[in-house]
């Protein structure tokens, strides 16, 4: 094996060549000091506990690694298991001079990375981490009192936008020094075991292209076809009115900086920038989720607002299962849950509606919804997932008021007025007239019969009465209200 010194570039949630600070720094050091760069990926879920990577996200990761390996001309070293053991073994086997990585922000990742820096620096190895997945570091944004923001608008408007501008993205570095030493034991991507034994992912495979090129293509498609109508179309689930970049941002196939500046560039010279501002603020919500996770690391498991701990959940297993499988008898809910299961994705407006229904109409703990989304979403991003579920439950930072309960029928009629979304994912309702598509239980029997629908056989009766369950939820939330006023 070659004795040439090495720089380990540890890929994590940054599976790209362009605008990758750790890779750029590793290649620069290798060129200056005649070293080799060893691109490395470690499948390490050991410290994640209950928050390990879900099934759909593992499918995406598999294919994103294939893309990264190909872009690196096969020069990607793969390991699995605890990162400290994997890195230590490499430093014992090779002449490792430096280890570079881009930061992650989950609490266990921060704790592990802090330990790794201390451990390897004590051995004389240069260890550096870089900002690559956020526009603003969470510790850089503080309010006038020097503490963390808890409300989005001042965080974004006063904290972020009045702070320094996000760094400009950089091109991919020269990869000529990226080379694995001969004789180094290598795992294959298949050996990581990311794909399930039963190929339930066929529809995902037809709909998505993981990897850096796929991410770049979706960004281009968004700018060309949807960006200039974003504010008007983003809430309509039957059209592709959003960028659908969340899985790629999660795995870092492109950076938020690339997205930020590409979209801003597309709007240069245009007088009407409402669509731009709205889209950039959605990137701001992503930043806010990570900000909350960093400053309040308990939120994956516990309510941000502890007063919600007194709320009594019903957690009825049969209702939870009906929600998970898209068999609640409420069409917009069922369409959303089936979209999630079939495609690994769900439109953001529908995420709010199905979340409100689970937490408030069914009174199932938001943590049950978070866990299901984490397993089924391709973009299973802990920060965004947890913050969003606590928002809809009313227990989070800057959350929807506990008494705001989305009416799924009205939401369907407003945002899926022709029923196109429902008919796509609930094809058994395809012939139901528009008047009843979001409330088939109100349709006369002869109309349902002509549509080929028999409630209870072809499509379920609603598992709850929407009005009664809303009132029951409000009564249950009175306990929280009393605790808040105590």
CATH code for the domain in which residue 436 is found: 1.10.579.10
Per the structure block, which two tokens stand in for 97?
Answer: 């001079």
The answer to whether residue 15 is domain-embedded is: yes
**369 pLDDT higher than 60:** yes
Per the structure block, which two tokens stand in for 89?
Answer: 């073994």
Same domain, 153 and 242: yes
**59 pLDDT higher than 80:** yes
**486 pLDDT higher than 90:** no
The answer to whether residue 199 is domain-embedded is: no
Q: First and final CA of the chain: distance in angstroms?
A: 69
CATH code for the domain in which residue 227 is found: 1.25.40.80
Same domain, 126 and 139: no
**Which DSSP string corresponds to 138-190?**
GGG---TTSS---SHHHIIIIIITTSPPPPPP-PPPP-TTB-PPTT-----SG
- How far apart, in whole angstroms, are the C-alpha atoms of residue 146 and residue 144? 5
CA atoms within 13 A on the CB side of 337: 22
Active-site amino acid positions: 282, 285, 313, 348, 366, 389
**310 pLDDT higher than 60:** yes
Mean pLDDT of the chain: 95
**1 pLDDT higher than 60:** no
Same domain, 343 and 473: yes
Average pLDDT score over residue span 439-462:
97
**341 pLDDT higher than 60:** yes
**238 pLDDT higher than 80:** yes
| Burial status of residue 38 (CB atoms within 10 A of its CB: 0-12, 13-18, 19 or more) | buried
> How would residue 50 be classed by pLDDT, with cut points 50, 70 and 90?
confident
**157 pLDDT higher than 90:** yes
> How would residue 49 be classed by pLDDT, with cut points 50, 70 and 90?
confident
The answer to whether residue 236 is domain-embedded is: yes
Q: What is the largest CA-CA distance in the chain?
A: 81
Instruction: Provide the number of structural domains found in the chain.
Output: 3
Per the structure block, which two tokens stand in for 66?
Answer: 């294939």
Phi, psi of 61 (to 5 degrees): -60, -40
State residue 399's pLDDT score.
Answer: 79
State residue 483's pLDDT score.
Answer: 67
Average pLDDT score over residue span 317-328:
99
Same domain, 323 and 440: yes
> How would residue 484 be classed by pLDDT, with cut points 50, 70 and 90?
low
Phi, psi of 47 (to 5 degrees): -90, -5
Per the structure block, which two tokens stand in for 291?
Answer: 């900000």
**269 pLDDT higher than 80:** yes
The answer to whether residue 11 is domain-embedded is: yes
Same domain, 144 and 284: yes
State residue 398's pLDDT score.
Answer: 86
Same domain, 366 and 268: no
Q: How many residues does the chain have?
A: 486
| C-alpha radius of gyration, the chain, whole number | 24
Same domain, 288 and 311: no
Same domain, 145 and 128: no
**119 pLDDT higher than 90:** yes
122-131, 169-178, 307-316: segment of lowest average pLDDT: 307-316
State residue 395's pLDDT score.
Answer: 92
Task: Report the share of the chain in percent with pLDDT over 70.
Answer: 99
Domain that holds residue 476: 306-485
**342 pLDDT higher than 70:** yes
pLDDT digits (tens, 9 = 90+) for 376-423: 999 999 999 999 999 999 999 987 788 889 999 999 999 999 999 999
Same domain, 54 and 79: yes
| Burial status of residue 80 (CB atoms within 10 A of its CB: 0-12, 13-18, 19 or more) | middle
The answer to whether residue 192 is domain-embedded is: no
The answer to whether residue 40 is domain-embedded is: yes
Q: Which residues contact 154 (CB under 8 A, 6 or more apart)?
A: 143
Same domain, 60 and 147: no
The answer to whether residue 31 is domain-embedded is: yes
Which residue in this structure is represented by tokens 């109508």? 229
pLDDT digits (tens, 9 = 90+) for 186-211: 899 999 999 988 888 888 999 999 99
Q: Which of 132, 160, 194 is the last residue of a domain?
A: 132
CB-CB contact of 387 with 397 (8 Å): yes
CA 392-395-400 angle, 5° bins? 40
- How far apart, in whole angstroms, are the C-alpha atoms of residue 383 and residue 385? 6
CATH code for the domain in which residue 20 is found: 3.40.50.620
**216 pLDDT higher than 80:** yes
Same domain, 227 and 344: no
Average pLDDT score over residue span 119-133:
97
- Identify the residue with better confidence: 222 or 480: 222
Average pLDDT score over residue span 325-338:
99
Same domain, 284 and 351: no
- How far apart, in whole angstroms, are the C-alpha atoms of residue 451 and residue 435? 13
The answer to whether residue 398 is domain-embedded is: yes
**481 pLDDT higher than 80:** no
Q: Which of 295, 328, 346 is the last residue of a domain?
A: 295
């Amino acid at each position: 094996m070659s004795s040439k010194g090495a720089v380990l570039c540890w890929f994590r949630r940054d599976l790209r060549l362009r605008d990758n600070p750790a890779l750029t720094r590793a290649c620069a050091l290798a060129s200056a000091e005649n070293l080799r760069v060893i691109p490395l990926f470690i499948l390490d879920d050991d410290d994640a506990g209950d928050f390990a990577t879900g099934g759909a996200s593992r499918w995406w990761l598999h294919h994103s690694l294939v893309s990264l390996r190909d872009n690196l001309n096969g020069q990607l070293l793969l390991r699995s298991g605890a990162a400290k053991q994997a890195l230590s073994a490499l430093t014992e086997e090779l002449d490792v001079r430096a280890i570079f990585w881009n930061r992650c922000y989950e609490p266990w990742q921060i704790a592990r990375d802090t330990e790794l820096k201390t451990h390897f620096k004590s051995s004389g190895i240069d260890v550096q981490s870089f900002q690559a997945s956020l526009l603003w570091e969470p510790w850089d944004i503080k309010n006038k009192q020097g503490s963390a923001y808890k409300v989005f608008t001042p965080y974004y408007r006063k904290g972020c936008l009045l702070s320094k501008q996000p760094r400009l993205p950089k091109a991919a570095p020269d990869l000529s020094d990226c080379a694995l030493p001969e004789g180094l034991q290598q795992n294959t991507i298949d050996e990581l075991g990311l794909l399930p034994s039963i190929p339930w992912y066929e529809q995902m495979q037809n709909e998505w292209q993981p990897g850096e090129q796929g991410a770049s293509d979706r960004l281009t498609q968004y700018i060309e076809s949807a960006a200039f109508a974003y504010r008007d179309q983003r809430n309509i689930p039957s059209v592709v009115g959003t960028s659908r970049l969340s899985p790629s941002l999660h795995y870092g196939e492109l950076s938020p900086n690339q997205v930020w500046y590409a979209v801003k560039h597309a709007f240069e010279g245009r007088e009407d920038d409402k669509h731009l501002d709205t889209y950039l603020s959605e990137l701001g919500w992503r930043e806010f989720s990570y900000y909350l996770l960093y400053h309040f690391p308990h939120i994956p498991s516990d309510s941000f607002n502890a007063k919600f701990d007194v709320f009594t959940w019903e957690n009825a297993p049969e209702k939870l299962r009906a929600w998970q499988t898209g068999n609640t008898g409420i069409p917009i809910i069922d369409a959303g849950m089936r979209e999630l299961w079939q495609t690994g994705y769900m439109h953001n407006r529908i995420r709010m509606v199905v979340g409100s229904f689970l937490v408030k109409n069914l009174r199932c703990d938001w943590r049950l919804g978070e866990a299901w989304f984490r397993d089924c979403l391709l973009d299973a991003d802990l920060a965004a997932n947890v913050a969003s579920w606590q928002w809809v439950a009313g227990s989070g930072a800057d959350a929807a008021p506990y008494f705001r309960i989305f009416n799924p029928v009205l939401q369907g009629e407003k945002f899926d007025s022709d029923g196109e979304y429902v008919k796509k994912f609930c094809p058994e309702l395809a012939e139901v007239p528009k008047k009843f598509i979001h409330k088939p239980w109100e349709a006369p029997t002869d109309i349902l019969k002509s549509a080929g629908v028999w409630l209870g056989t072809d499509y379920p009766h609603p598992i709850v009465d929407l009005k009664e369950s809303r009132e029951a939820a409000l009564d249950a939330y009175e306990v929280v209200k009393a605790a808040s006023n105590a």
